[in-house]
Structure 1
Amino acid sequence: MAVEGLAEGAMSPVLAFALVGGLGVGSQWLAWRLRMPAIVLMLLAGILIGPVLGVFNPARDVGPLLQPMIAIAVAIILFEGGMTLNFHSLNDAAVGVKRLVFLGAPLGWMTSTLALHYVAGLSWESAAVFGGIMIVTGPTVIAPLLRTSRLAKRPAALLQWEAIVNDPIGALAAVLAFEVVLVLNTATAVNVAIADLVIGIAVATALGGAAGLGLSRAFRRAWVPEFMKVPVLFGLLLGVFGLSDEVLHESGLLAVTIMGIVIANANLPSYTEMRRFKEHATVLLVSGVFILLAAGLNVERLALLDWSAVAFVLLVILVARPASVFISLLGSGIPFREQLLVALTGPRGVVLVAVAGLFGDRLLNLGFEDAALIGPLAFALVSFSVVLHGFTLAPFARWLGLAGAETPGVIVLGGSNWTTAFAEALKKADVPVLMIDPNFGHLRAARTAGIATFTGDILSEAAEQRLEFVSYATLLAATDNDAYNTLVTTDLAPEFGREHVYQIKREAAASKRHQLPSTLGGRQFGPDETHAKLEQMINDGWGFRITRLTEEFTFDDWRAKRPDAHLIARIASNGTIKLISKDEEVNGAPGVRILALRQQDEPRESQPPAA
C-alpha cells in the first residue's frame, strides 16, 4: 500500500528527464531573449513545477538515481571549469588567485562558521561542517554571470579561478570537519580519520594528474582517433571521479578538477573542439541540476527558517565574504575597485546545495538535530545570492568601470583607406571601434584619427591577453587576404556568435572552384564588393555617411533619395549597431541611424596604406 501511494501521481523517468531538459533549455533561451539572468528563471521554473504545482518530485519520479546523477553532473561541470583554467590566462591575476585560494578559503571557512553559530544558531559541529562547504562560490553560477556581464579580464579571472579551484577545496573542508566531528562523537580513532583523509586527497590528486597527463599524451601521439576523443574523455572522466569518490567521498571533485587543469595546459591541438563540446554539455547539465534541486525542495524543512536565516544570509554576503576577500588581497597590488567587485560578488551554486544536503543528513544520523537547518539555509543562500548577483553584477561592474562598454563596439580587422573611413564613421556615431592589423604602418591613419588600434594577429596569445574583447560584440574581417578573413571569422564565430561575425566579399567567390562551404567564414559585409573594389570606391570619392530617420523622413524616403547608396549598418537609438548583409530587410523606426556608403560631391585623393 505504501509503495502504491508513493507511486500515485508519479510521472515516468523518461518524461521527467524530458521535462527537466525542456525547462532548462527553455529557461536559458527565454533569459537570453529577455536579457535576464538564466539561473533566476531556472530556479523559478524548478520551484513552480515542484513545491508550487507538485507536478514533478525528483525523489519520487527519478528515484534512487537522483543523487548519483547530480554528483556526476557536478563532476562534469567542475571538469569543464578546470579545462578553462589555462595558466597563461592568469597574467597579473595570478597573485590575487593564489591569495583567494590559500588565504581566502580558510578565512571564508572561519567567518562562515562564526556566522552560522552566532547568527543562524547552529552548533559548532554543524557550523564547522557547513562553513567548510560555504567556501565555494559556484562555477555553475559564475560562468553564466561572466558570460552576460562582460567583465574586464582581471576581475573575471579572479572570480572564475576562485570559483573553480575553491569548489573541491570547500567539499574537502566539509569532509575534514565531518571527520573531526565523527572522531569526537563516535568510537572512530583519530589516526584512522586522518589516514582516510590523507589517502583520499593523495589518491584524488594522483588520479587526476595521471589521467590528465595520460590523456594528453594519448591524444598528442594519435593513439585515439579524432572521432573517439570526446567519448574517451567522458569515459575517463567518469572513471576518475568514481574511483576517487570510492576512496573518499567528495574527493572525486578534486580529481576531475585537477584532470581538467592538466588538459587545459597541455596545448593539445584538439583542445578547442573538446572544450566547446564540454561547454555545450555543461549548459545542459547546469540547467538540469538547478531545476532538479529547486523542484526537490523540502517545504517542511524550509518552514524551519526564521528571521535569523535572513540575518545570516545578509551577514555572509555583506560582511563575511567581503572581510575574507579584503584581508586575503591586502597588499596584493590589485586596485581597490577590483577588490570591491570580487568582495561583493560571491554567488553560490549547485555544489553548495548538493553537498550541504548530503552532510546535513549525515549529521542528522549522528544525532545533531540542528543539522536539519543546513539544507534550507544552503538553498536560501544560493537563491538570494543568485538573484542578487544575477541582476546587479553587470550594472555594478559598469559603475566601477570594470565591464565592457554599455554600447557594444565593433572590431575591424585590416588597415586600409576604406576600413579607416568606416572606423571614423563609427567613432563619430559614438560606437566603440578597434582596428587590428599585423602591419604597424597600415594603422597610421587610424591612430592619427584617434581610433583605438592593436598591431598584431587577432588570433595570437598576446591579443587574447591584452585586448578587452568584452567591449566588442561585432567582428568585421576586412583584410586583402580572403583566406585569412575566412580563418579568423571561422575561429572566432563561436566566441562572438555567428550572427555577429562578418567578412568582405571574396575575390573569387563567384567561381565554383573557390566557393567555400557555408560552415566556413562569416556573413557577407554590406556592399557586394571585394576589398580592392571598396578601396577603389573610397579613392574615387565615395564615403560613409550617417542619417537619422524620423517620422517625417522614413527609411523609404532615404532610399528614394539615395538609390545608389550601399547600406552598411543600422544603429539603434540605444547605440547598438547591426551590420546589414546584402538584401537584408532593415527596421527603419524613427530614431534609428542609417550608416551608408555613398558617392560624395568631391572625390577623395588616393591614399594607399603605408608599408
Structure 2
Amino acid sequence: MSIEPALLLTLMLVIGFFCQWVAWRVRLPAILFLLLAGIVAGPVTGLLRPDKLMGDLLFPVVSLAVAVILFEGSLTLRFHELKGIGHAVRGLVSYGALLALALLAAAAHVIGGLGWELSFLFGALTCVTGPTVIAPMLRTVRPNARIANALRWEGIVIDPIGALFAVLVYEAIASHREGHSLQVFLGTIACGAVTGGIAAFLHGNLLRRHWIPEYLQNFGTLAAVLMTFSLSNAIAHESGLLAVTIMGIALGNMRDVHIDDIMDFKEHLTTLLVSTLFILLAARLDWPLPDGALVAGLAIFAVAQVVIRPLSVFVSTLGSELTWRERALIGWIAPRGIVAASVSALFAIRMEETGMTGADRLVPLVFLMIIGTVVFQSATARPLARWFKVAEPEPRGVLLYGANAVAIEVARALHAIEGLRVVVADDDWHGIRTVRMEGVPTFFGNPASQAADRHLDLAGIGHLLAMSTHRELNSLVSVHYREEFGRDKVFRLRNLSPEESHGRVSLASSLLAPALFAEDMTHDRFDDLLRDGWRVKTTRLSETFDWTAFLARYGSDALPLFGVEPRGDLRIATGPHPLAPRPGWTVIALVPPQAIEASDGA
C-alpha cells in the first residue's frame, strides 16, 4: 500500500498527538506509546519506511531535532540547584551514574555481545533517567516526599549530564574509528565547548540588552541553536551536540537573562519533535530483530533492574538520611527516556554509515531497555511502595492557583491546619513572595506547564482550588488537574456572577469545575468582604460548641468555606453543596466584622 508523503507526514503528527493524549489519560510516559506506534507503523505493517520517505534528509532532520531536544534539556540545569539537592542526589548524579555506566557497559559486552566501544556508548545512554518519564510515574506511584524529590531531582540534573556523557563517549569512539589522535579528540571537545560558550554569551547578551523584540526571541533562539550546532560541526566534525548542550547550560545559568518564555516555546517544540522523531526512529527498527537481540535486551534489562540500579543507588546513598526502605524503592525506579532513545538512534545511524560492527544492535537494545523499564516499573512500583510503607498517605492537601489577596487569605487559613499540605502556584512574583513569607510552600509559574510537571511537588496533594483573577487560566488549570485529581476534587472561584455569565461561557464553566463557597460568591465579592473587615476564622467544633452555637456567636451571615473531619479529610463548600459541619470538625468560615468585634468584646 502506497501513501503520499504529505499524507504520511500528516499521519505521523496525528498519531504523535494521539499517543501524547493517551499517555495523558492513563498517566504513563508518552515515550512508551510513541515507540509502540512507530514499531507498528514500521516493522509490523510496513506503512512507514523512514529511509525511503526522507531519503538524504533523514540524517540532517534527526540531527537537528536531537540538537533542539538536548538544548531544551540542558536549559533546565541550574548550578545553584546542585548545591541544595542533598547528599543522596549528588551521589546519584555523579559517582553513582559513573558506576551505573560501567556496569551497564559490562552487561552490554558480556550479554549483548557488543564491542567495548559500543558497550560504553550503551552504558552512557542508559545510565540516566529523565523528567519526562519520571514525572508521570511519580504521579502514579505517589511515594513519600523524600523519595519523590530524590527521583525528580535526579531526573532533572542527570538528563543533560547523561547527554554530555553520551556525546563525550561518542566523540572518543568517532576519533578512534577515524584514526584520530588524542589531540584531535580533545580539540573536538574544546571546539564544542568554546562554540557553545560563545554562542550562549552572544545570544544571552542580545536577550539581556533587549536587542531582540519579545515576539522574535523564540524564533531567534531556535535559529541560534541550529546555527551553533551546524557551525560547530563545520569547524570540528561531530562537535555540534556538545556545543548545543554547553550553550543550553550556560544560557540557563546567565544572570538577568529571562528565558521563561523561551523555555515554554522549547517545551512545546520538543513535544512536537519527540512525538514525530520517536515514531520515525522506532519505524526504522529491523524486524525481526538481529539474532539474539531480543533475548539479550531482556536479559540486560533484568540485570539492570535487579542488580545494577539497586547497587548504584546503594553506593550513591551511603551516609544519607534515607531509610533502607526509601533507598530500596529509589533503587527500583529508573525509567529511561528521551536522551536514550533520540541520541542512540542518531549515533546508530552515523555508525552504520561507517560500517561499525554491531551498530545495528545498539538501538534495539536501548529501546528494549526503555520499554522494559517504563512498563515493568509502572506496574510494580506502586505495590512495592505500599509494601515498603513509603507510599504517600491519602492525598488530602490543596494546590491553590492564585496569589492574590483572596487566595492568600484562604491559603493562610488552610496552611494552619495540622497535617494539611498546601502549595500556592502563580506566575505573579510579588504575590508568590508574599505567600512565601507566610511560610506556605509555593511554585512560581503556571501549574499546567511542563515546567510544573518537572518541578511542582504534588506529594500529599489531592485538591485544586483555582482562585486566580484570570478566568481563562482558571479554566485551563482546572481541565489540566481534573484528570490528575478527579472531577470531584477540582474547584474554582467564580470571576463572574451567574447573571454576568451567559451562553457558552456559563455552560463551559459548569462543565469545568464546581463553583467555590456559594452560588453568588465571586472573586470580587470575596475581596470586597475582606476589605470591609470580614475575616477567615478557624474554629474547632465540639458537642458543647457545635455549628448552631457557632452561628449564634458569629451570626447567620457567616459563610462556611471548609471543614476538616477528625481523620483529616477536607470538605469544601460549593454552591450546590453547602457544608453541614458536625462536632469534631475544624471549620474555616468567613465571618462578618461586627461578629468578630462582639466575640472579642465578650
Q: Above 0.5 in TM-score? A: yes
- 1:486 counterpart residue number: 469
- 1:228 counterpart residue number: 216
Residues 565 and 598, structure 1, Cα contact 8 Å, conserved in 2? no
Classify 1:537/1:568 alpha carbon distance in 2 versus 1 (closer, same or farther; 3 Å).
same
Q: CA deviation at 1:607?
A: 3.7
- 1:50 counterpart residue number: 42
Residues 568 and 579, structure 1, Cα contact 8 Å, conserved in 2? yes
- 1:378 counterpart residue number: 366
1:162 maps to 2:158: yes
Residue 422 of structure 2 aligns to a residue in which SS? strand
Q: CA deviation at 1:238?
A: 0.8
Could you tell me how far apart the structure 2 residues matched to 1:83 and 1:376 are? 29
Residues 75 and 252, structure 2, Cα contact 8 Å, conserved in 1? yes
Classify 1:16/1:45 alpha carbon distance in 2 versus 1 (closer, same or farther; 3 Å).
same
Residue 407 of structure 1 aligns to a residue in which SS? coil
Could you tell me how far apart the structure 1 residues matched to 2:424 and 2:119 are? 54
Q: CA deviation at 1:400?
A: 6.0
What is the 5 A alignment of 1:336-375?
Answer: 336-357=324-345, 359-360=347-348, 369-375=357-363
Residue 455 of structure 1 aligns to a residue in which SS? coil
Could you tell me how far apart the structure 2 residues matched to 1:501 and 1:278 are? 31
**1:186-240 Cα distance to aligned partner (Å, 9 max, x none):** xx2xxx4312221121122222222223222211211111111000010001111
**1:503-550 Cα distance to aligned partner (Å, 9 max, x none):** 46589x98xxxxxxx9xxx996442232267679998999999xxxxx
Could you tell me how far apart the structure 1 residues matched to 2:590 and 2:223 are? 65
Choose which of 439, 443, 454 in structure 2 pairs with 1:455: 439
Q: Which amino acid in structure 2 is aligned with residue 455 of structure 1?
A: G
Could you tell me how far apart the structure 1 residues matched to 2:42 and 2:293 are? 19
Could you tell me how far apart the structure 2 residues matched to 1:565 and 1:534 are? 12
Q: CA deviation at 1:156?
A: 0.8
Tell me the number of residue pairs that the alignment of Structure 1 and Structure 2 aligns.
527
- 1:176 counterpart residue number: 172
Residue 155 of structure 1 aligns to a residue in which SS? helix
- 1:557 counterpart residue number: none
Classify 1:362/1:75 alpha carbon distance in 2 versus 1 (closer, same or farther; 3 Å).
closer
Could you tell me how far apart the structure 2 residues matched to 1:466 and 1:142 are? 11
Percentage of matched positions with identical amino acids: 31
Choose which of 4, 19, 24 in structure 2 pairs with 1:27: 19
1:203 maps to 2:191: yes
Could you tell me how far apart the structure 1 residues matched to 2:268 and 2:495 are? 31
Classify 1:205/1:411 alpha carbon distance in 2 versus 1 (closer, same or farther; 3 Å).
same
Residue 181 of structure 2 aligns to a residue in which SS? helix
Choose which of 9, 13, 17 in structure 1 pairs with 2:9: 17
Could you list the runs of 5+ residues in structure 1 that have no partner in the other structure? 1-8, 438-452, 479-484, 511-517, 546-563, 587-593
Q: CA deviation at 1:366?
A: 6.8
- TM-score normalized with structure 1 length: 0.70
Residues 410 and 536, structure 2, Cα contact 8 Å, conserved in 1? no
Which of 201-210 and 123-132 deviates more? 123-132
Classify 1:486/1:466 alpha carbon distance in 2 versus 1 (closer, same or farther; 3 Å).
same
What is the 5 A alignment of 1:44-443?
Answer: 44-90=36-82, 92-93=84-85, 95-138=87-130, 141-142=133-134, 145=137, 152-180=148-176, 182=177, 188=179, 192-247=180-235, 251-268=239-256, 270-305=258-293, 307-332=295-320, 336-357=324-345, 359-360=347-348, 369-393=357-381, 406-407=394-395, 409-411=397-399, 419=410, 423=414, 432-434=420-422
**1:535-574 Cα distance to aligned partner (Å, 9 max, x none):** 79998999999xxxxxxxxxxxxxxxxxx99998999xxx
Residue 606 of structure 1 aligns to a residue in which SS? helix
Residue 200 of structure 2 aligns to a residue in which SS? helix
Q: CA deviation at 1:139?
A: 5.5
Could you tell me how far apart the structure 1 residues matched to 2:533 and 2:168 are? 66
Q: CA deviation at 1:276?
A: 1.6
- TM-score normalized with structure 2 length: 0.71
Which of 258-267 and 200-209 deviates more? 258-267
Could you tell me how far apart the structure 2 residues matched to 1:133 and 1:466 are? 23
1:606 maps to 2:595: yes
Q: CA deviation at 1:25?
A: 1.1
Q: Which amino acid in structure 2 is aligned with residue 163 of structure 1?
A: D
Q: Which amino acid in structure 2 is aligned with residue 262 of structure 1?
A: A
Residue 92 of structure 1 aligns to a residue in which SS? coil
Classify 1:212/1:416 alpha carbon distance in 2 versus 1 (closer, same or farther; 3 Å).
closer
RMSD: 5.1
Q: CA deviation at 1:277?
A: 1.8
Classify 1:487/1:416 alpha carbon distance in 2 versus 1 (closer, same or farther; 3 Å).
closer
**1:357-387 Cα distance to aligned partner (Å, 9 max, x none):** 5555666677764444323222222221222
Residue 410 of structure 1 aligns to a residue in which SS? strand
Q: Which amino acid in structure 1 is aligned with residue 362 of structure 2?
A: I
Could you tell me how far apart the structure 2 residues matched to 1:130 and 1:32 are? 29
Residues 514 and 574, structure 2, Cα contact 8 Å, conserved in 1? yes
Residue 299 of structure 1 aligns to a residue in which SS? coil
Residues 489 and 503, structure 1, Cα contact 8 Å, conserved in 2? no
